[in-house]
Structure 1
């Protein structure tokens, strides 16, 4: 096993265990608003600290990019850990057991290792560049579906980018006429992991941040899928507009989306 994956798993499991123990503790959970439609809890901040301490115990010179703290620079900024201690924070605060710890390691600008852990189901999704993706040690491989008919597509509403709502609704309407059904579960990391596991056939969302998708991106690629922007290109690292799935499904979805995209979304 890749040595950094070993540490990523350790950090994810420790943070996940903390979430599982805190899940029903109404008395210790404090909820704060960081901005419109953006929550923070003391539990997520504590889990973030747990993850950082594990990483820096073994790799004290590595830098970290965190959803809560931002960039934590160190001696080796060419090696960066990207962490999201609680993806699905609204689900957690509402006692919906669908959330995850997400950790990725990028070396010289390439994602090499990823781990996504759902503590409520004890499901650990992992990937190492060039070595495939796994769920609890079992190899994952995306089914290369040919058609949108029968496909299940996951998405996330653009609640932080409501200026794109009209285009988004139009895209949903076009795809809904072609696919079987939609899912909106509230964790982009798990949506990406579920594409890798063929539990859903495709996923798209507007304006994601690196900590939302970096670990899941590697999972999808290592499971045989593709990750693009809404136009089928590869500028999603900048725009955060992601479309993922099997090669054939993505090729079917892109033309459906193209006619509805405003200029800011066509990147």
Structure 2
């Protein structure tokens, strides 16, 4: 029997985790929920989906390493799966249908594969390095928006006691007068997929975790987006801070956010 390739494997297990989450979504009022910190929750659904993903990936790729939001890191090999079993937990628990499964593969420190699966809309965004990005198997690319005044952006607004609330408020104050709008939808993986597919023209957020952005970064790069950290030389993989937009918009967008 031919071994399943990495993309087929990621697509399959993302769909399987999505079905687990859909079952919990139907009975979410009964879920046990704990609070990690103000505004940051974890439920039985998160844990069940991650348990399935980890078991399936370990079975298929027993020598690969692992990084999951709920179960942490395991292994030291160069190939590492980076997984968020439920990006948008607060949306999920509140009955807001904007949440996703996010799976990325890193090889020797470079992200090579990304899958973001939206079980509610049954949309699956996927990309492998050098092979382009797709939505449900059809090619996608970033929007052609060229003027900041026409552009719609996404972001994640800090909450609770996060130290960068004031800095983000200043970002919004600089950007809002110059663009067509900003959306805060509550699932960074989907926000990045929406930039890759042209639904949003750009996105920025500080201090995200690897599992929040790893798959989305692959999608963005393969769909033609420009991607940087807060400073030009920084990589979001290293800092957790991402600025991304269509190539035509990026210089003005980044300059506005950076206060230049």
TM-score above 0.5, yes or no: yes
Q: Structure 1 CA distance, aligned partners of 2:23 and 2:199?
A: 27
Q: 1:231 to 1:2 in 2, by over 3 A?
A: farther
Q: Structure 2 CA distance, aligned partners of 1:252 and 1:148?
A: 7
**CA displacement at 1:62 relative to structure 2:** 0.7
Do the aligned residues in 2 keep the contact of 1:231 with 1:254 (CA within 8 Å)?
no
Q: Structure 2 CA distance, aligned partners of 1:45 and 1:18?
A: 10
Partner of 2:67: 65
Where does structure 2 lack aligned partners over 5 or more consecutive residues?
A: none
Aligned length: 258
The 10-residue stretch of structure 1 (148-157 or 30-39) with the greater mean CA deviation from structure 2: 30-39
Aligned alpha-carbon RMSD (Å): 1.6
Partner of 1:226: 226
Do the aligned residues in 1 keep the contact of 2:113 with 2:129 (CA within 8 Å)?
yes
Residue 105 in structure 1 maps to residue 114 in structure 2? no
Q: Structure 2 CA distance, aligned partners of 1:89 and 1:125?
A: 19
Q: Structure 2 CA distance, aligned partners of 1:121 and 1:109?
A: 32
Deviations 1:92-118 (A, max 9, x none): 000111100000001111111111000
The 10-residue stretch of structure 1 (153-162 or 59-68) with the greater mean CA deviation from structure 2: 153-162
Q: Structure 2 CA distance, aligned partners of 1:251 and 1:58?
A: 42
**CA displacement at 1:238 relative to structure 2:** 2.5
Partner of 1:249: 249
**CA displacement at 1:14 relative to structure 2:** 0.5
Partner of 1:263: none
Q: The residue matched to 1:230 in structure 2 has which SS?
A: coil
Where does structure 1 lack aligned partners over 5 or more consecutive residues?
A: 261-267
Q: Structure 2 CA distance, aligned partners of 1:149 and 1:10?
A: 40
What is the TM-score normalised by the length of structure 1? 0.92
**CA displacement at 1:235 relative to structure 2:** 3.4
Do the aligned residues in 1 keep the contact of 2:245 with 2:253 (CA within 8 Å)?
no
Q: The residue matched to 2:82 in structure 1 has which SS?
A: strand
Do the aligned residues in 1 keep the contact of 2:38 with 2:161 (CA within 8 Å)?
no
* 1:95-244 equivalences in 2 (<5 Å): 95-159=95-159, 162-244=162-244
Q: Which runs of 4+ in 1 moved over 4 A?
A: none
